[in-house]
Amino acid sequence: MAVTTFRRGRAPKDPEGRMPLREHLDELRKRLFRSAIAVVAAACAGWWLWPNVVLPLLAAPAESIDGVELNFATTLGVLDVQVKGALWVGLIVSAPVWLYQLWAFVTPGLTKKERNYAIGFVLAGFPLFLAGLALAYLILPTTMALITSFTPEGVANLIDTPNYLSFVMRLLLAFGIAFIVPVLLVALNFAGLVRGRAILKQWRIVVFLCFVFSAIFTPTPDALTMILMAIPLIALFFMAIGVCLWNDRRRARRDRDSEFAGLSDDEASPL
């Protein structure tokens, strides 16, 4: 008597890229795990880069102000800063990896050709991520000067180093991540998931959200830092919308040309 066995395998993929909730959660776990491995591996290099290169750069804007001095108020403060700093450097160095994992999670059901846009997303997103960090670092001296200007004359301003560095690292990451969002918008448009005209109709909401994002993620109470963050972000969004509109016209022209490509000069086109 023959016994028929059934091998349990994965369910076939939906041609439209739809996934049940459990598969979405599994996909998210896989992408987060790969990103975490990349961050920890890069943090090994960050363990050396932090005290020798990065820490002096981040401390310079505060130490250049008269009457301001950084200090450690707790015994384990130095070790805490070292660990957090190494992980922060690892997060920046491993940005190409987690950017790719972000794209792979957002677009799990696309074709192989459409997944190739991930390369362009990473190549454009990583430099803009670094540009956001650089812009935040450029306005950091102005921000620190404004904050410390309220110190009474003749009084030394002793700033706790872990708190100061946490403030600086949050500020830089907020700028860097904000600069990635327009690139993600363009990549989704090239993948055929977002239309430029639909985004253009909501430009008022985009401008409002840019200021809201700047107000929330800029860890300073002054309006100057918020405006300095919102203006380049708005400019990047409008550049992204322009690229999306250009790509939509290019795609429509290509589809129109392909529709009439197989017709002879004497053959009528389909209505």
* Residues 228-257: tens digit of each pLDDT: 778 888 888 888 888 888 888 888 887 776
**If you average pLDDT over residues 89-118, what whole number do you get?**
78
Question: Rounded distance, CA 63 to CA 61, Å?
Answer: 6
Q: How confident is the model at residue 93 (pLDDT cuts 50, 70, 90)?
A: very high
Phi/psi region, residue 127 (left: phi>0; alpha: psi -120 to 50; beta: rest), is alpha
pLDDT of residue 256: 74
**If you average pLDDT over residues 167-171, what whole number do you get?**
87
pLDDT of residue 150: 74
pLDDT of residue 183: 84
The answer on pLDDT for 11 being more than 50 is no
The answer on pLDDT for 218 being more than 80 is no
Parse the chain into domains and list their residue ranges. Answer: 22-258
pLDDT of residue 261: 53
Q: How confident is the model at residue 94 (pLDDT cuts 50, 70, 90)?
A: very high
